Amino acid sequence: MSANRTEQIHSYCIHCAALCGIVAYVKDGYLVKVEGDPNSDNNAGTLCPKGLSAKQEIYHPGRLKYPMKRTRPKGDADPGWQHISWDEALNTMAARMSEIKALYGPESFFFQKGSTGGSSGSEWYRFFGRLSSLYGSPNHGGTGHICCYSRSCPGLPLHFGNKGLHPSIDYEKTNFILLVGYNILHTEPPLARKILDAQQRGAKLVVIDPVLAPTAAKADIWLAPRPGTDLALFLAMHHVIIHEGLVDADFLKYWTNAPFLVRDDNGLFVSSDGNPYLVWNAKERAPQPANPWFPSHVEPALNGSYSVNGISCRPAWQLFTDMVEACSPEWAEKMTWVEAEDIRRVARLYANTKPASTDWYNGLHKSSNGYYTAVALALLSVVTGNWDVPGGLSFESDPTFKDVKGSQHLPEGWINNSLVAAAGFKARAYNKEYVGPMNLVADAILTGKPYPIKGMLALASGMGTSNPNSKKMMDALKQLDFLVMGDIWETPAMAMADIILPCATHWESEFVNYNPPYLMHRRPIVEPQHEAWPDLKIIFELAKRLGFGKEFWDGDIKKAFNTMLEPFKVTVDDLDASPPGVRYAPPPQPYRRYAATDEKSGKPKGVATPTGKLELYSEKLKTLGYDPLPAWREPEPGPVSTPDLFREFPLILSSGFKPMHWLHGQLRAVPWLRECDKEPSVWINRRTAQKLGIPEGERVMVETPKRDGTIQGNVVLKAVLTEAVHPQVIYIPYGWWQGCDSLALEGYGSLDGSANVNNLYDDSFTDPVSGTIGMVSYPCRVRKE
Amino acid sequence: MARYGLAIDPSRCTGCYACIIACKSENSTLPGVSWIRIEEKEEGEFPKVSKTWTPVLCMQCAEMPCEQVCPTVAITRGEGGIVLIDPQSCVCDGAGPCLSACPYGVLQVNQGNRPYFRDYLTPHEKQDYEVHVQGAVEKCDLCYHRVVAGMQPSCVQACPSKAMLFGDLDERAGDLAQLVSRGQAKPLREDLKSDLSVFYIDKGAGKGSGVFESGLPTPSRF
């Protein structure tokens, strides 16, 4: 096609967090096509199926077109949607929100943000948080509990002090890539070529995943543990590393709390004379303060048993060593079904290759033992000296945009008044991490405890399908006095809404961001279709009507962007004046941050943990009532932890990896994408299917129990027979609810008989530390429909 | 003279469909028609199981088995040896002997300019559907309009894995010609002697050759 009369707009795609630079070709106001921008450092001209299908998404006739209100009672099959103006929608929202706040308090209104992509929630969430803070509600829900709590939201702050920073691996330098529950070749498209390049140059790729996902298929070594038992595998790797003397002892002595003495009687650190921490100086055979730094002539002991002022104690490393002593590869083989020799081989290869990186994502995370699993995995980097070094497990730079989340507007004591704190997720509350698991709100609505939740504004959140226990969520949403949901598409949960709002795609909205090498003002490549508004505009206009105009830059989004840009000393006008943006080179990624020196004092800064060191042993967790070490615990539910449930539901249901063409529950309506992947399915091992008499392509029902053994729910899916899963494991791709009119495929709904895997989960099996939900090791049975 | 071709490295393909959607977006092919497909193959028994993906498209054969059976002389070779089908001359009304003559099954009949969305032509469909003719046979032309303008085919550019390399086989010192002459890139089916322009990296012929690292410069014209 001719590009002569076509305008080229440089922007970036924010369907996912990878941020690929794009060039949009626009002719007479309509989008001709989107391509990867060859000048982008991230994606170098490449682009994934989601970004490439922009024009089918934008011009899709099935999108929500205008604001609507219900005219019939909730529970009616037909809500009687009536087209209303944006003014009416926003004025009603402001009035009802003020009323609920006056009657029940601000905490009774819940602000829910869903996906980071599609409508670019990873950008506008800051202003959504600002709105909830100004309103005064500590209940700001997200998806951390089913996504990335143990990686980057907030990460593992108690142990390693890296709150909110994402792992950022230098794939050009690493010689070993250990990936766990992370289909990175598909979920981070711009990293695919870099990882394959690393492998081609000789770096080993080891993937741990119960399913042969595309990334696992490219691995030099693929280990497929019983779902939810990765912790046992990592403990066995520690066992091998310690037994074979592959530990970086100097690193442990000087940069971690491994030598800190722990009291045998109460598990707390030994303190003395105002010194909160002591180590045993092997040179002088005497205790030595560690505050947290000690002189270099000190030789702290890592092992042994000592007595200090009559208190018997041992270094934290000794306790860790004692714990993993029982976790031999042979023991782990029983737990994980992975052969002991394979575990040994991977442990040796990992510990003997430098630098070695690790990374993980929500496959590891969606388990009731996910928190400690991530700790044990991250500690592999620590004990081998691969922490925060080039080519090891390193982390991105601190964010540089000015913080506009407005947390300072929250009332005093907000954290104690949050659903997160009330639910007992003390570590989460300790981190002042107030983005709460959205399942908590369902309980609060249904029980009125700890207090009633009466209203909710949910943007870009398919709450009817995206949270485990969809039935409970739908029942809860029905009980709300006032529910507003905004999205690009009409989702199943909107059946319970009072007002629904049509949101713009990210292609039709704006923001400012760093898309290397440019600081960019991402402008709409086309105007929003129909009456859709960008989420950001909804937030700003609602804020004005709630009386927060002044704190929202008098409704001027450009001014808000300028505030965000202040640290860069540029304005939106500067960025617009030189498309595609202003070149910006961030400071080089810092390494060895644990050893950084404070310029004033000349002393090490330490990391943001209670001890100032990387923590192998968390005294803070101990005082909060948790295990200070990542000791083995079975996933719940599971064939070992809940054997009664597995008597009638003998298969293990796992759900997880995301293919590149889908973004969680989004985009199923886009025909180009749907032609590639038409039907929701369940992967069943060939041998198991044969026993069950299920042929390829057969429609089957998958059924699961609640905690008490009664039926939780069912789904109906197409059977895909494969050897990519263990004979006792079935795998269900998630995110299926939407129809695709073009291919004559109807929607599936979200409850029984649907294709929604979240209908199968009782959400009460939670990780006690983080609140994440056990979803990878769930009992189920399969039969022909 | 130039002879345009591809080398595809299945060991880098992750089956992500970016090539398929890039082709859709660039060429506005009709519902149900795709000029490139990905063949997925699973082998072995859990946990000793492998999965591979192979993109398959028109191989641009010099001997053109499709052309040899075409009753209406609709198939010709354009610049760079690219095999082209003229939709106006492709008028054998669906008898399509070419469809079965193609050893790779990459020819498809345009069943009609049906929009993707019921009763609604999107703005880009309105413009692009003019080049598609109902009843005509279609296939990949290596994005002819792009390569004659000095660009790469859209699938090659989009591929997040950089599993495809576009180049000129007649440029002896070029990366593509080198891969072929060193025997590292071979035809998909070596039993067929059809002198084609699309090759597949054979890892058995030299693993870790590094030729496909995405840092590799693409030929200067592209």
Tell me the domain boundaries of chain A.
Answer: 82-150+400-583, 176-394+611-623, 643-784
User: Is the pLDDT at A370 greater than 90, yes or no?
Assistant: yes
pLDDT at A152 (0 to 100): 80
φ, ψ at A332 (rounded to 5°) = -65, -30
**Residue in B closest to A659 by C-alpha:** B16
Q: Do the Cβ atoms of B31 and A61 come within 8 Å?
A: no
B4-205, what's its fold? Alpha-Beta Plaits (3.30.70)
Chain B contact set for A201 (CB, 8 A):
208, 210, 213
Q: In whole numbers, what is the pLDDT of chain B averaged over residues?
A: 89
User: Is the pLDDT at A213 greater than 90, yes or no?
Assistant: yes
Q: What is the C-alpha to C-alpha distance for residues B208 and A317, in angstroms, rounded to an integer?
A: 41
**Cis before A292 (ω within 30):** yes
Q: Do the Cβ atoms of A197 and B45 come within 8 Å?
A: no
**Is 2.40.40.20 the CATH number for A643-784?**
yes
Q: In whole numbers, what is the pLDDT of chain A averaged over residues?
A: 94
Q: Do the Cβ atoms of B14 and A192 come within 8 Å?
A: yes
Distance from CA of A683 to the nearest CA of B (A): 13
- Asked whether the beta carbons of A131 and A405 are under 8 A apart, the reply is no
**Residue in A closest to B152 by C-alpha:** A45
What residue ranges do the domains of chain B occupy? 4-205
User: Is the pLDDT at A1 greater than 70, yes or no?
Assistant: no
User: Is the pLDDT at A4 greater than 70, yes or no?
Assistant: no
pLDDT at B146 (0 to 100): 97
pLDDT at B202 (0 to 100): 83
Collapsing DSSP to helix, strand or coil, A333 comes out as helix
φ, ψ at B26 (rounded to 5°) = -80, -40
- Enter the ipTM: 0.95
Q: Which DSSP symbol is given to A33?
A: E
**Residue in A closest to B213 by C-alpha:** A197
User: Is the pLDDT at A427 greater than 80, yes or no?
Assistant: no
Tell me the pTM: 0.95
Q: What is the pLDDT confidence band of residue A433, given thresholds at 50, 70 and 90?
A: low
User: Is the pLDDT at B208 greater than 60, yes or no?
Assistant: no
Q: In sequence order, which ranges of A597-662 are alpha helices (DSSP H)?
A: 619-623, 643-648
Residue at token pair 């009774």: A108
Which member of A46, A55, A186 has the closest CB to residue B122?
Answer: A55
pLDDT at A377 (0 to 100): 97
Instruction: State the average pLDDT over residues A503-517.
Output: 95
Collapsing DSSP to helix, strand or coil, A153 comes out as coil
pLDDT at A292 (0 to 100): 67
Of A779, A755, A780, A784, nearest to A691 (Cα)? A784
Tell how far CA A261 is from the center of its chain. 35
**Cis before A355 (ω within 30):** yes
Q: pLDDT digit string (tens) for A640-683?
A: 999 999 999 999 999 988 999 999 999 999 999 999 999 999 99
Look at phi and psi of residue A45 and say left if phi exceeds 0, alpha if psi is from -120 to 50, else beta: left
Collapsing DSSP to helix, strand or coil, B18 comes out as helix
Q: Which amino acid is at A420?
A: V
Chain A contact set for B151 (CB, 8 A):
none
pLDDT at B222 (0 to 100): 32
Q: Do the Cβ atoms of A212 and B49 come within 8 Å?
A: yes
Q: What is the pLDDT confidence band of residue B220, given thresholds at 50, 70 and 90?
A: very low
Q: What is the C-alpha to C-alpha distance for residues A120 and A99, in angstroms, rounded to an integer?
A: 30
A-B C-beta contacts closer than 8 Å? 163
User: Is the pLDDT at A153 greater than 80, yes or no?
Assistant: no
Class level of CATH domain A82-150+400-583:
alpha beta
Which member of A56, A201, A726 has the closest CB to residue B210?
Answer: A201
Instruction: State the average pLDDT over residues A275-284.
Output: 94
Q: What is the C-alpha to C-alpha distance for residues A781 and A761, in angstroms, rounded to an integer?
A: 13
Share of chain A above pLDDT 90, in %: 83
Q: Do the Cβ atoms of B21 and A212 come within 8 Å?
A: no
**For residue A533, what are the β-bridge partners?**
A503
pLDDT at B209 (0 to 100): 38
Q: Which amino acid is at A648?
A: E
Q: Is residue A700 within a helix (H) or strand (E), and if so which, with residue range?
A: strand A699-705
- Asked whether the beta carbons of B162 and A36 are under 8 A apart, the reply is no
Q: Do the Cβ atoms of A193 and B44 come within 8 Å?
A: no
Which member of B18, B20, B215 has the closest CB to residue A197?
Answer: B215
- Asked whether the beta carbons of A609 and A157 are under 8 A apart, the reply is yes
Residue A99: Cβ within 10 Å count: 14
Q: What is the C-alpha to C-alpha distance for residues B138 and B211, in angstroms, rounded to an integer?
A: 32
Of A87, A123, A168, A111, nearest to A12 (Cα)? A123
Chain A contact set for B40 (CB, 8 A):
none
A176-394+611-623, what's its fold? Dimethylsulfoxide Reductase; domain 2 (3.40.228)
Helices A340-352, A230-243: axis angle to 10 degrees equals: 60
Structure tokens at B1: 């003279």
Mean pLDDT lowest among A438-442, A464-468, A719-723, B58-62: A438-442
Q: Do the Cβ atoms of B25 and A675 come within 8 Å?
A: no
- Asked whether the beta carbons of A767 and A369 are under 8 A apart, the reply is yes
Q: pLDDT digit string (tens) for B42-65?
A: 999 999 999 999 999 999 999 999
Mean pLDDT lowest among A122-131, A752-761, A767-776, B123-132: B123-132
Q: What is the pLDDT confidence band of residue B67, given thresholds at 50, 70 and 90?
A: very high
Instruction: State the average pLDDT over residues A412-422.
Output: 86
Which member of A27, A30, A661 has the closest CB to residue B17?
Answer: A661
Distance from CA of B64 to the nearest CA of A (A): 26
**Residue in B closest to A226 by C-alpha:** B47
Instruction: State the average pLDDT over residues A219-228.
Output: 97
Of A729, A748, A652, nearest to A683 (Cα)? A729
Distance from CA of B158 to the nearest CA of A (A): 4
pLDDT at B64 (0 to 100): 95
Residue at token pair 């003390």: A426
Q: Do the Cβ atoms of A659 and B16 come within 8 Å?
A: yes
pLDDT at B193 (0 to 100): 78
- Asked whether the beta carbons of A334 and A741 are under 8 A apart, the reply is no
Which member of A44, A45, A52 has the closest CB to residue B25?
Answer: A52
